[in-house]
Amino acid sequence: MALRKMMAVLAGRGGAVVPQPGEGGVSGFGKAHKQDRRLHERYISVLRLGKLSAPHDEFVLIRNISAGGMRAEIFSHRRLGERLTFDLGNEDPLSGQVVWTDEDTAGVAFDEKVDIRRALARVARPGRRRARAPRVKVDMSISVAQCHSRSSCLLIDISQGGGKIQIDAPLKVGDELTLEIRGFGKVMGTVRWVRDGMVGTAFPFQLPYRKLAAWVATINQQRRPG
C-alpha cells in the first residue's frame, strides 16, 4: 500500500493507481480497492497493441490500464521520469511519464485521468469504415520478389497485418509478392491498393507481435546518434 501511495505522489496524480510489476488483472487490485475506494481506482487487464510516438515510432503492448496510468511492454530502454505519448488507435493520444521499469515492462502515469472505455475504443478515421491496426513508420530499403524478378523499394510503414511500400515496378491489385526485410525475414503479401507510386500490401497471417516489436526497436536503436 505504501509503495502505491508513493507512486501516486511521484506521478502527481493524488491517488491514481499505476499498475505495478507482477500485478495481474482486476483481482490483483481487489483488496486495495476495497480498503480505500476514495484513494484508489480499479484497473483492468488487457492485451492491446498500441504505438509509442517518439523520435521513431515503435509498438507497445498494453497489459493493464486504469484512469490514472498503465503497464506496458516496451522493447526499448526507458528512463524513470521520461515523458511518453501513446496511440491506442482511438485518435486521442495518451501522454504521461515513466514511474517504474522492470526489464521490458514499464509503468506510466498519465498526465490527467482518462476515460478507459474511450481510450480502448477503436475509432475509424474520417472516410474509413473501420479503424486500422496500429502501424509504425520505418522508412527503410527492402527487396520485393515477384515470380522471377526482384526489385528494390522503400518500406514506408508496417503493421501486424500489412505494409505500405514505395516502388517503381508496375504492380496491380491482387499481385502476390514477397517482402525481403533486412533483420526480420521474408514476408508474403498481396497487393490491396496502388496509388501514386505507393502500394498497400496485406499479409496472409498476423506477424508475431514480439518479433515485430523487437525488430522495430532494434532498427530505431541503430538510427539513434552516438
168-194 residue pLDDT tens: 888 999 999 999 999 999 999 999 999
| Type of residue numbered 191 | V
Q: Is residue 87 located within the same domain as residue 46? A: yes
Looking at the structure, tell me whether residues 18 and 56 fall in a common domain. Answer: yes
pLDDT of residue 54: 73
Q: Is residue 75 part of a domain?
A: yes
d(CA 184, CA 161): 15
**In this structure, are residues 18 and 71 in contact, taking their beta carbons and an 8 Å threshold?**
yes
Please check whether residue 22 lies inside any domain of the structure: yes
Give me the CATH number covering residue 147: 2.40.10.220
Tally of domains in the chain:
2
* Statement: residue 34 has pLDDT above 50: no
Phi, psi of 72 (to 5 degrees): -130, 145
Q: DSSP 3-state assignment of 85? A: strand
Question: Is the domain of 86 the same as that of 141?
Answer: no
Look at residues 119, 144, 167 and tell me which one is the last residue of a structural domain.
119
Of 57, 84, 119, which one is at a domain's C-terminal end?
119
Cell numbers representing residue 22 in the block: 507482477
Whole-number pLDDT of residue 41? 54
In a domain, 154, yes or no: yes
Question: Does 115 lie in the same domain as 200?
Answer: no
pTM of structure: 0.72
**Torsion angles phi and psi, residue 115, rounded to 5:** -85, 110
The upper half-sphere exposure of residue 150, i.e. CA atoms within 13 Å in the direction of its Cβ, equals 6
What's the domain range around 66? 2-119
Q: Say whether both 91 and 65 belong to one domain.
A: yes
Statement: residue 30 has pLDDT above 80: no
Residue 17 has phi, psi (to 5 degrees) of: -90, 130
Each residue's pLDDT tens digit, 87-139: 887 667 889 999 999 988 999 999 999 888 887 776 555 555 555 678 899 99
Please provide the average confidence, as pLDDT, over all residues in the chain.
Answer: 79
Q: Name 176's bridge partners.
A: 190
Is 82 inside a domain boundary? Answer: yes
115, with CB counted inside 10 A (0-12, 13-18, 19+), is exposed
- Examine residue 128 and state whether it is found in any structural domain, yes or no: no
Does 192 map to a domain?
yes
State whether 112 and 70 are in the same domain. yes
For residues 148 and 90, state if they share a domain. no
In angstroms, rounded to a whole number, what is the distance separating the alpha carbons of residues 224 and 61?
A: 22
Euclidean distance between CA atoms 191 and 164, whole angstroms: 10
**Which of 86, 119, 152 is at the close of a domain?**
119
3-state helix, strand, coil in the chain (%, to 5): 15, 40, 40
* Pair (141, 110) in one structural domain: no
**Domain annotation covers residue 173:** yes
One domain, residues 150 and 108: no
Residues 211 and 108 in one domain: no
In terms of domains, do 8 and 113 share one? yes
Let me know whether 146 and 111 are in one domain: no
Given this model, what pLDDT does residue 173 score?
Answer: 96
CA angle centred on 194, ends 207 and 145, rounded to 5°: 55
